[in-house]
């Protein structure tokens, strides 16, 4: 069992049952509850049932997608907690991907002014990024993560065995955040990633701790996203806008798929601003394109991106706030781009 310490909690990497046993023996709660992604439950039913029986955990299974990541779903969670007698001394275990972690954490952080919660991420995206750092939110008025809070979990339990049951698409989606971590601060990790041809052949027990450590170190320095933590938004300004737009279509983008597009676009803006070379832009574009199928983006959707980025939560006043690359393995926060440049970056993606 590997442990990564943060100032406020520990991250356990290893067998989930062992980590949960140790934590609940060491820490006493009035009662135990679990919010579980229905798909994760179907894939890991016996394991989860065993945990619930052993630790007397009352569980609620819910179906999740970005459209259901809302205040309305939180109301269902709060209503269930109330009906089952949960109080502020109880514990909520969130088992699932980034949506479960975000929404379950938000529901716990606001229920009776805050009950304890544990994140047990079951997707690569959640394990490497979404579960770490205490950012919790739901979507509101079609804006991604528009309402939320900062609140740390009691602990995070990361078990790579969950990754074996992910679809190829889900695994690839999560890989986008691993790429992002390499591009913003870890050139050695970038070189290691460039050797990967097949994500199914990756030894995640070895690679994941390195990627997790990147985010953990940044969050340690800047827990409330005032300076350095903004680097983690690379690819997300444009990516979140695209994710919101495609959410309303018959073929929505997964979060990592949207961020992959956003990284290519924001790498282009980094080059246009003189921060990275043409060769670096080409290398980034080629590597990301190796794993992600190009998506069609219409002219009207490009115009919508220009409007949606104005509502990004990172903005200050009327200034759209980007994170650019200052070379592979380095970043530049608090950057801006004109609307023509933004639209040009999307046309670059479509034609690269």
Residue 314 — pLDDT band, cuts 50, 70, 90? confident
Other beta carbons within 10 Å of 250: 5
Query: Phi, psi (5° rounding) for residue 333?
Result: -90, 170
Give me the residue label for tokens 């043409």: 278
Q: State the span(s) of the chain assigned CATH 1.20.1090.10.
A: 168-351
Place of tokens 């989606």: 173
CATH class, 2-165 region: alpha beta
* pLDDT tens-digit readout, 66-93: 889 999 999 999 999 999 999 999 999 9
pLDDT class for 144, splitting at 50, 70, 90? Answer: confident
**199-214 mean pLDDT:** 95
* Number of neighbouring beta carbons within 10 Å of residue 233: 24
For 239-296, the pLDDT digits (tens) are: 999 999 998 899 999 999 999 999 999 999 999 999 999 999 999 999 999 999 999 9
Q: Which residues contact 351 (CB under 8 A, 6 or more apart)?
A: none
pLDDT recorded at residue 142: 81
Q: Six-digit token pair at 325?
A: 């690359």
Output the pLDDT for position 131.
94
| Nearest Cα to Cα of residue 305 among 229, 236, 232 | 236
Q: What is the mean pLDDT of residues 192-219?
A: 95
Q: Which two tokens stand for residue 333?
A: 């926060």
Residue 113 main-chain phi, psi, to 5 deg:
65, 20
Average pLDDT over every residue of 114-132: 96
> How confident is residue 321, by pLDDT bands cut at 50, 70 and 90?
very high
Question: How far is the C-alpha of 234 from the C-alpha of 76, rounded, in Å?
Answer: 33
Give the contacts of 197 (CB within 8 A, at least 6 positions apart).
290
Residue 233 has pLDDT above 80, yes or no: yes
Least confidently predicted of 47-51, 62-66, 118-122, 187-191:
62-66
Cα separation, 190 vs 167, in Å, equals 24
CATH 3.40.50.1970 residue window(s) in the chain: 2-165
Q: Look-up: residue for tokens 């074996």?
A: 164
Q: Tell me the pLDDT of the chain averaged across its residues.
A: 95
Residue 239 CB neighbour total at 10 angstroms: 28
Give the model confidence (pLDDT) of 18-45 as tens digits: 999 999 999 999 999 999 999 999 999 9
Is 230 in a helix, a strand, or coil? helix
CATH no., domain 168-351: 1.20.1090.10
Contact between 255 and 243 (Cβ < 8 Å): yes
Closest to 133 (Cα-Cα) out of 263, 142, 247, 145 = 145
């Amino acid at each position: 069992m590997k442990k990564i310490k943060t100032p406020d909690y520990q991250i356990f990497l290893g067998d989930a049952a062992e980590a949960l046993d140790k934590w609940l023996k060491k820490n006493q709660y009035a009662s135990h509850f679990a919010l579980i992604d229905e798909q994760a439950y179907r894939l890991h039913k016996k394991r989860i049932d065993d945990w619930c029986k052993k630790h007397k955990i009352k569980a609620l299974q819910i179906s999740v997608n970005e459209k259901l990541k809302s205040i309305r779903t939180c109301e269902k969670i709060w209503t269930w907690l109330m009906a089952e007698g949960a109080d502020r001394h109880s514990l909520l275990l969130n088992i699932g991907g980034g949506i479960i972690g975000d929404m379950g954490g938000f529901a716990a952080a606001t229920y009776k002014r805050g009950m304890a919660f544990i994140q047990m991420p079951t997707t690569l995206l959640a394990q490497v990024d979404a579960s770490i750092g205490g950012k919790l939110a739901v979507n509101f008025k079609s804006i991604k993560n528009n309402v939320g809070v900062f609140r740390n979990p009691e602990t995070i339990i990361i078990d790579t065995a969950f990754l074996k049951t992910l679809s190829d698409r889900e695994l690839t989606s999560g890989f986008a955040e691993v790429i992002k971590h390499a591009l913003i601060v870890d050139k050695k990790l970038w070189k290691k990633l460039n050797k990967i041809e097949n994500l199914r052949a990756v030894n995640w027990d070895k690679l994941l701790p390195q990627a997790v450590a990147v985010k953990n170190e940044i969050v340690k320095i800047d827990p409330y996203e005032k300076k350095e933590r903004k680097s983690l938004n690379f690819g997300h300004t444009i990516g979140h806008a695209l994710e919101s737009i495609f959410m309303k279509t018959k073929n929505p983008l997964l979060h990592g798929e949207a961020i992959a597009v956003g990284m290519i676009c924001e790498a282009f803006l980094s080059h246009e601003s003189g921060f990275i070379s043409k060769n670096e832009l080409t290398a980034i574009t080629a590597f990301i394109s190796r794993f992600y199928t190009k998506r069609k983006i219409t002219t009207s959707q490009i115009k919508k991106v220009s409007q949606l980025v104005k509502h990004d939560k990172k903005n200050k006043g009327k200034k759209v706030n980007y994170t650019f690359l200052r070379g592979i393995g380095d970043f530049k926060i608090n950057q801006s781009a004109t609307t023509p440049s933004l639209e040009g970056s999307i046309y670059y993606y479509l034609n690269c």
